[in-house]
A = this chain, B = another copy of it.
Amino acid sequence: MSHPSPRRTRDPARKQAAILAAARAVFAERGYENATIREIARRAGVTHGLVVLHFSTKEQLFVAATTPDPESLFKGVLDDDVTKLPERIAASFVHRMEASDGADPVIALIRSAAGDQQAAKALLQTLQQTAVDGYARVLDIPDLATRVNMMGAHLIGVAFSRYVLADGPVAAMSPDELIARLTTTIRTILFD
Residues of A within 8 A of B (CB): 30-34, 110-115, 117, 120-121, 124-125, 128, 145-146, 149-150, 152-158, 160-162, 164-165, 167-170, 173, 181, 184-185, 188-189, 192
Contacts and interface: CB of A to CB of B under 8 A. Distances in A.
SS of A interface (majority): helix
Given A146-B173, A153-B158, A114 B33 contact: yes
B157 A124 contact: no
Contact of A161 (B30, B124, B184, B192): B124
Nearest to A31: B114
Given A113-B114, A115-B34, A160 B156 contact: yes
Given A149-B169, A185-B188, A113 B111 contact: yes
